[in-house]
Amino acid sequence: MRPVPTSEIKYGLFHLPHAPSVKIAYSFYDAPQSGLPVVMLSNSLSSNFKTLWKEFVEHFRDSYSIILYDQRFHGESPLADGFDYYGKGLTFEELADDAAAVLDHLGIARIHAFVGLSMGATTAVVFKARHSARVGKIVVAGSGLKSAAPGSEDVFAPRIKIATEGPDGMANLAQLTLARWFPGDPGKKFLDDHPIRRDEFVTMLRDATAEGFVACIRALQNFDLTPSFDKIKQRGESKDVLLVAGAMDGPLPDANKSMAKLSDANLAIIEESGHIVNVQKAGEFNELVDKFIA
Find the CATH number of the domain harbouring 211. Answer: 3.40.50.1820
If DSSP states are collapsed to H, E and C, what string results for 53-64? Answer: CHHHHHHHCCCC
Residue 3 belongs to a domain: no
233 assigned to some structural domain: yes
| DSSP tally for the chain: helices H, then strands E | 13, 8
Q: Is residue 2 part of a domain?
A: no
Instruction: Calculate mean pLDDT across residues 222-233.
Output: 97
| Mean pLDDT lowest among 96-110, 138-152, 217-231, 241-255 | 138-152
Secondary structure letter of residue 24 according to DSSP: E
Listed range (34-38, 77-81, 248-252, 277-281) with the worst mean pLDDT = 34-38
C-alpha distances (whole Å) from 68 to each of 24, 65, 120, 234 are: 11, 10, 11, 29
Question: Domain total for the chain?
Answer: 1
Q: What is the mean pLDDT of residues 127-138?
A: 98
Question: Does any domain span residue 1?
Answer: no
Give a yes or no: residue 92 inside a domain. Answer: yes
Domain hosting 157: range is 8-293
Domain-located, residue 269: yes
**φ, ψ of residue 174 in degrees (nearest 5):** -60, -50
Residue 2 predicted with pLDDT over 90: no
List CB contacts of 257: < 8 A, sequence separation 6 or more.
267, 269
- Whole-prediction pTM: 0.94
